[in-house]
Structure 1
Amino acid sequence: MEVQYRIEDHVLAASLEKEYGIRMESVRFIPMGDSAYSYRVNCANGERYYLKLFDHQNDRQLRSIERLRYYLPLTWQLYHQRLFRNVTYPIKNKDGDYKTTFNDITVVLFNFIEGETLAEAYPFSTEIVESIARSVAQIQLATPFIDKTALLTETFDISFASDLEKCISVLESTEACSNPVKQALREHVLPKKEQVLTLLNLVYELRGAAIADTKERVLCHGDIWGGNLIRHHNELYFIDWESAMIAPPEFDLVGYIGEEFDVFLSAYEKHLGHSVNINLDLLRFYSYRHHLRNLADWLMNILYRNTEEAQNEHDLDMIVSHCMNRWDSIEPKVRAVEAILQKRK
């Protein structure tokens, strides 16, 4: 989130001291992410933590709260059982719980990882791509050692489609807006209406092929982009496990399709210890679903959720610069993967 949650820092700090038994020095808001408010917590003894705060009045953040019961025990287990150590994991409160609720919010305290995210490091070097691929393989190799029944399993959900269609209808039925951000939203999105609906129909078709795929499901992080990767002392750390689930491997491979996929696949298979079969239609499904679901979320933010204009401006920029401008590159990237796979036969 770009705008700080409406709670005074000293009130938040006092609640954290009470619930976690830590002596606070400061709490600093970090403008990042979409599904929660982020803070850096500094303690009097020099320790630091990362805090996620979820607003119960925000329907998207309520969905994120629901996911806590799946991925917080998972990341705790991955770290403490040494299945995958380069991970953020929850700090338990005084009652031994992974999350804490007070004042109509839910908070989770995580270990703090030094370093910088790779959000601005694109295009990734060969070294980084190989490191990500090895980590993806390591995460998937942990599958037999975790309780899969306690995690979400991929259902190829596209329930966002109703929100997307609703938002487009609202934009169509609205006259020219006095609000410049919402007017700009209409001007950017409505000319793309037919393409959006065509891609949505394609996602429905691809979902059928995805459901029919019988490939073994594995543990996937689900959102491996630069903003969820922190590099420190040549080590990569994976943060924000909200999308983690048991799913086809393509769920974690899709972010690296295109020309770099050859490098990624070689390092991935080498660490796995065997070759893999890639389902191109699954890559298509995950690519289109990702961008259309993001579009639906950002449209819902601007039209219904956001209370600050700065957040609206941020979400509009995400729609224009990190969503709609990427649709036309999906098929060329999938074809590049297909060509790489053909050369390997």
Structure 2
Amino acid sequence: MKFHIEDSLLMDHLNQSYGIHAESLQFIPMGDSAYSYQVNGRNGQKYYLKLFDQQNERHRTSIQRLDNYLPLTWKMYHQNLFPTVTYPLKNLKGEFKASFNGVTTVLFNFIEGETLAEAYPFSSQIVQDIAQSAAGIHLITPHIDPSTVMNETFDISFESDLVQCINVLEHNVIFDNQIKQSLRGHILSKKEHIFSLLHLVRELRQVAIRASNEKVLCHGDIWGGNLIRHANDLYFIDWESAIIAPREFDMIGYIGEEFEVFLPAYEEHFGQFVTVNLDVIRFYAYRHHLRNLTNWLMNILYRNIEQAQNENDLEMILHHCMNRWDQIEPKVKAAGEFLNKRPVSQ
């Protein structure tokens, strides 16, 4: 849902802070860590705007990450390390972000084209392009200061919020709307499954910590909604999850049948044979779904104001989360069968 601020007030802020000539805004109803807008300027200029509500818990977490990934993407673009990246524009103070009236804003270059959010299932060519780009990102690692980017701790701190949400749903409270009542039925029917997955994630976390995998710069959220095809180029947007982590982090969306396409294309661009730890992939895959589940539960039970947002988040839980848990092991198995066909080294 659109943030409660007048477009004219927001444009005045942008014009004064960035020295641009914004004439209109177009709200983009995507994402949950910020509000997104297309900014249309005089003479056809376009910009992409992220607006963060400083009173929103999820947004405050995203604001804290700005100091990590904004300088990173600025360097990636301006030093030609990875040109097909969305990068921040500096304001008149030479800063990457600006604040006013309880909000924080970041202005980015605008990338023409459509995201690949609706392009599933991906063609082999798209999978190859993504794999080569992922390898290109990982190859940047020696050129950045790892202390300036988040480092992987295999965090699962979301589990306390997840348990809390389930406890709330178990109480015999009559909720004030049908979405929450419906949510209770769906979640409690899967309660034992959810707790078994939490236990599995804890075990896999220990495996991942012990693994001696090389850590590289990862985008951290390579899915179709963060990819834009323009002409012959594939642009990577939304770098909030950028992190120094095992390369498996950027592979979790491409296990299964497409792994046979993804891994050879990745290795060709990376320039060497790589080993893949399937238990690390399993950790990331299960953590991804449980963390998303927790976020949407917290939204519905505590954060959302608009009923339309509740409906959207319940839809995400049912059709972009819970329905995918049983697909993880078959996909990991398919990836393992491919790996077993390959020689130990090349």
Question: Does the pair score TM above 0.5?
Answer: yes
| Deviation per residue, 1:161-209 (Å, 9 max, x gap) | 0000000000111434341111111111110000000000100000001
Q: Report how far residue 45 of structure 1 moved.
A: 2.4
Match of 1:279 in 2: 277
Alignment check: 8 A CA contact 1:140 1:220 kept: yes
In 2, the alpha carbon distance for the partners of 1:143 and 1:177 equals 49
Alignment check: 8 A CA contact 1:39 1:51 kept: yes
In 2, the alpha carbon distance for the partners of 1:243 and 1:78 equals 15
- Superposed, which structure 2 residues align to 1:133-148 within 5 Å? 133-148=131-146
- Superposed, which structure 2 residues align to 1:72-83 within 5 Å? 72-83=70-81
Aligned equivalent of 2:267, options 261, 265, 269: 269
Counterpart residue type for residue 340 of structure 1: F
Match of 1:312 in 2: 310
Aligned equivalent of 1:293, options 271, 291, 295: 291
Counterpart residue type for residue 201 of structure 2: V
SS of the counterpart of 2:121?
A: coil
Match of 1:124 in 2: 122
In 2, the alpha carbon distance for the partners of 1:195 and 1:142 equals 39
Counterpart residue type for residue 200 of structure 1: L
Match of 1:24 in 2: 22
Q: Report how far residue 27 of structure 1 moved.
A: 1.1
| Deviation per residue, 1:239-278 (Å, 9 max, x gap) | 0000001000000011100010010001000001111100
Alignment check: 8 A CA contact 1:23 1:45 kept: no
In 1, the alpha carbon distance for the partners of 2:232 and 2:253 equals 21
Q: Report how far residue 234 of structure 1 moved.
A: 2.2
Counterpart residue type for residue 303 of structure 2: R
Alignment check: 8 A CA contact 1:138 1:271 kept: yes
Tell me the TM-score normalized by structure 1: 0.98
Give the fraction of aligned pairs with identical amino acids, expressed as a percent: 64
- Superposed, which structure 2 residues align to 1:51-62 within 5 Å? 51-62=49-60
- Superposed, which structure 2 residues align to 1:127-206 within 5 Å? 127-206=125-204
In 1, the alpha carbon distance for the partners of 2:41 and 2:179 equals 39
1:257 is aligned to 2:255: yes
Counterpart residue type for residue 30 of structure 1: I
| Deviation per residue, 1:1-55 (Å, 9 max, x gap) | xx00010100100110010011111011110011110000000121100000011
| Deviation per residue, 1:265-313 (Å, 9 max, x gap) | 0100000111110001000000000000000000000001111111111
Aligned equivalent of 1:247, options 224, 245, 259: 245
- Superposed, which structure 2 residues align to 1:222-241 within 5 Å? 222-241=220-239
Alignment check: 8 A CA contact 1:79 1:85 kept: yes
In 1, the alpha carbon distance for the partners of 2:302 and 2:28 equals 23
Counterpart residue type for residue 276 of structure 2: I
In 1, the alpha carbon distance for the partners of 2:337 and 2:233 equals 31
Q: Report how far residue 216 of structure 1 moved.
A: 1.4
In 2, the alpha carbon distance for the partners of 1:92 and 1:124 equals 35
Match of 2:216 in 1: 218
SS of the counterpart of 1:54?
A: strand
Counterpart residue type for residue 20 of structure 2: I
In 1, the alpha carbon distance for the partners of 2:277 and 2:335 equals 10
Q: Report how far residue 127 of structure 1 moved.
A: 0.4
State the superposition RMSD in angstroms. Answer: 0.7
SS of the counterpart of 1:196?
A: helix
Q: Report how far residue 335 of structure 1 moved.
A: 0.5
Gaps of 5+ in 2: none
Match of 1:69 in 2: 67
Counterpart residue type for residue 26 of structure 2: R
Match of 1:84 in 2: 82
Gaps of 5+ in 1: none
How many residue pairs match? The answer is 343
Higher mean displacement: 301-310 or 175-184: 175-184
Tell me the TM-score normalized by structure 2: 0.98
